[in-house]
Amino acid sequence: MLGTVVNTIAVILGAGIGLFVKKGIPERIGNSLMKGLGLCSLYIGISGTFKGEDTLIMIISIVVGIIIGEGIDIDRRVNSIVRKIESKFFGKNDKNNIAQGFISASLLFCVGSMTLVGVMNAGLLGDNTMLYTKSAMDFCSSIIFASTLGVGVLLSAIFVLIYQGGLTMLTIYAAPLLNNQVINEMTCVGSLIIIAMSLNILGITKIKLMNYIPAMFLPIVVCMFM
């Protein structure tokens, strides 16, 4: 868990710096930076999809995952919680889109092969090296994201702690199931979600991203039957 704690602290510190810097960034430049981040995220997502080995596993995971996510309506529940925090601590008229910042940053920090391999190394081998490397990268990313997307990026540190901590515990109990194929397929599906997130940031779509989260874990089950 030490690697996850360090990662969480890195996001908090980076976001804090980003929020401080944000005050000196003109709105025009801030908007351009956000579009640039969207393009970078799009590249990261597209690159990750090539790790997939079986298109059918990806399709099944996405379809079933969306059905589960929409059935539970995870996106609405998460947005509801974030909105309550937003109205209670920052005011209903706060111009920062806290929900978008929270969801976008949470996905960028937690989806990808580095997260999956990092938590596996931490959970199975006690090696936090990759998570420390990821922490340095997330520190830099959180500065940029917080300077454009606001307080929501700071709140995403909570998601990082819960998600990566949970995955670390999962690897201990599900180690026999997490082979290279499963990791690659989970990375592929997660990368598709990052692409969707990028399109939202660029203003092209309004996809309910959190409803896609269950799809990330379905390759564990689907690979057992294929």
Question: What tens-digit pLDDT sequence spans the chain (226 residues)?
Answer: 788 899 999 999 988 988 888 776 677 776 787 788 788 878 878 888 888 888 999 999 999 999 999 999 888 887 777 677 666 665 555 545 777 788 778 877 876 656 776 787 777 677 788 788 788 878 888 888 888 778 888 888 988 898 888 888 877 777 777 788 888 888 888 888 888 888 887 888 888 888 888 898 899 899 888 7
pLDDT number for residue 13: 92
Task: Find out whether 165 and 1 touch, Cβ atoms under 8 Å.
Answer: yes
Identify the pLDDT of residue 137.
77
How confident is the model at residue 71, as a pLDDT?
Answer: 93
Give residue 198's pLDDT.
Answer: 82
| Per-residue pLDDT at 68 | 95
The answer to whether the beta carbons of residues 155 and 85 sit under 8 Å apart is: yes
Q: What is the pLDDT of residue 146?
A: 86
- pLDDT for the residue numbered 24: 66
